[in-house]
Structure 1
Amino acid sequence: MPDTILVANAGSSSIKFQLFNIVGAASGGTGSLDLDLKGQVEGIGSHPRLIARNARGEVVADESFTAADVPDAQAALRQLGSWLRARHGGAFPVAVGHRVVHGGPTYDTHVAIDDDVLAKLEDLAPLAPLHQPNNLLPIRAIRVAQPDVLQVACFDTAFHRGHPEVADRYAIPEALYRDGVRRYGFHGLSYEYIAHTLPALAPEIADGRLVVAHLGSGASMCAIRSGRSLDSTMGFTALDGLPMGTRPGQLDAGVILHLLTSMGMTADAIQHLLYHDCGLKGLSGISNDVRDLLGSDDPRAGLALDYFVYRSSLAIGSLAAALEGLDALVFTAGIGENAPAIRARICRKARWLGIELDEAANAAVPAAGARLISIRASRVKVYVIPTDEERMIAHHTLEILGRQRRR
């Protein structure tokens, strides 16, 4: 059987994974990647379920477990590992790539993981408390079970590290900037994938001035010119910018001071509020899921969606200013790919930029590849392009594996 690379994208209640075969790696070359499997272990601790599909999209596994059998992410990893080894004759992948949300000031590119790297990444956990601890769980588990297997950390912040300094700074003293208090930006693996695939999927905009809207439970936008990130709506942490499922997005720092001093909230209580009880959930009081809000006639659901659309339209204008013009808008991620009503509302608010939506194309059933949803005559083109962070992680993992094999 061919060597494989496993990609793990671990969250608090699910572990997404993809398994790639390495093909054509003879004569010292790095080879290329063929998708073998993709899936997830979802409902960890409540209604655990392992579901996996092959490269043709056919279901090859659909197993449910009790909460006692899979109470946490470590147990989910054991179940996933056992299933993968059984399917592949007991063989373990030659490398494992991991999504790690925050690389801090130290890591501006993706790296092989050793004790020093892991310790530095653990120190960054307070800057991404929803993500970083979960990202690191499978790394630690695999280091115990298979200490000789190459593991690679791929950072959501890395794609943004080439920003001009003026885009990365806050108006704070220099000493704080040197200590790492700066605007990092996130969802970089998603943005990098879009930029990486545009020459093949939509060559007419690949070298242009783009705003890419990664709209999901976590949401942000990125200004990209000629394949490089110039600015992003997210900053020091993944709380900033657009409103999200449970996170507030842009928020006056004075609000935090007010909660601390006038309302007597503790830092832990404020952190929980900002990461779990704000955003669409906080505004609506109903749900953090856009599908639920679109199906509700409650005025609070309408307010939450209005706010999301309004802030998204403001962000497009701001990033277009950073780009000094706009050639295309690209929607991606869960909401961006699957909520035509939200796309239409955002595009209508951005008509002043030269966007003219093709309503029929926008409402069409989602398809693979790039889909143009603006009219041909639209000065600013609008596309829907499915993202694939896991393939980007596999690509970087293969590069690092190849370098190590050539030593």
Structure 2
Amino acid sequence: MDFDYSERCKELQARLLAFMDEHIYPNEKAWKEEIDRNGAEKGNRWIPTELIEQLKPLAREQGLWNLFLPKSPRAPEGLSNLDYAPLCEIMGRVGWAPEVFNSSAPDTGNMETLERYASEDQKREWLEPLLRGEIRSAFAMTEPGVASSDATNIETRIERDGDHYVINGHKWWISGAGDPRCKIFIVMGKTDPTAARHAQQSMILVAADTPGITIKRPLPVFGYDDAPHGHCEILFENVRVPAANMLLGEGRGFEIAQGRLGPGRIHHCMRAIGVAERALELMCRRLDSRVAFGRKISEQGVWRERIAESRIQIDMARLLTLKAASMMDTVGNKKAQAEIAMIKVVAPNVAQQVLDWAIQAHGAAGVSDDFPLAAQWAGNRTLRLADGPDEVHRSAVAKLELAKYA
């Protein structure tokens, strides 16, 4: 099994590392300060940062743009999943960095969805401006009233009325909806509650300025509002959209969801490994610079064990992620479903453990905003829920394993 990266990938990797060193790491505090300043001076934290907008053209000039999208004529720069993995990992080391390269969630998953399932007219209207980084998007599936880990529970109604569909429903944890650049929602709902269980759902494109859409509130994660991106609770009340906005056709929503979530899940895992690597680096530097009880903390046995275990777990998670990426490239997402499910459990849990040890190594400083660890811990913890909770993925793996012996 050959996991060697292509020469193009290696060249992009070196270019991306240099970009991170020059433009991303030195600006981590400046990014947060700009958002806080917008809140204090303008009364609005939900304003896109000038810092990121200034960095985007630089990333594009260096060929570090739209690398996530394979086999698309609209994004010829896109890489295979295997070649994108180490680059996505590097971007993931800083929470806001992927946006600089037009490779942040949920836009990447939405662009993959549009590329795979949208009509040519829909692609021209929505995919092309997303690929240019002119707008942003959101994916509206999760609902407060049902266990949304089972997508067939979704209750939002999408009902045909002449040349339009009328949407009524209540969504929450809709990432990106708080960004003023969010211009399009991909909404999942039921078009026919009487159909077969997996044929009741559909997905439809809804322009964000359509009458009847109300953003009720942003939802903070462990106290972090994630402005200017955010995660929001939204009401759809008699929202009318053209029938031409339907993706693929009525009853195809579950199929689209499964196709969308594969790439989305593996990208989350790639970024989580980057988070874990950053945490391990910060942990080692901290332990080697602090003295307790007469010797460096890095010389004390318990911390050497934790450093070693972190390296072992990160490398195991990376290898499993690369295997899943390789299978997605060679045999397709469906045949890689077990590997995708496994990494979705493994990578966030490994990152969470390494982050926890890194926070412990930093003492009280670890839970402050003087270091990125606390914010990364909060963001990473949501990955054990986002795109399906651990329990659902474990169940899927067990079902596939048992099927071998049926």
TM-score w.r.t. length of structure 2: 0.23
Q: Which has the higher strand share?
A: 1
Name the structure where helix makes up a greater proportion of residues.
Answer: 2
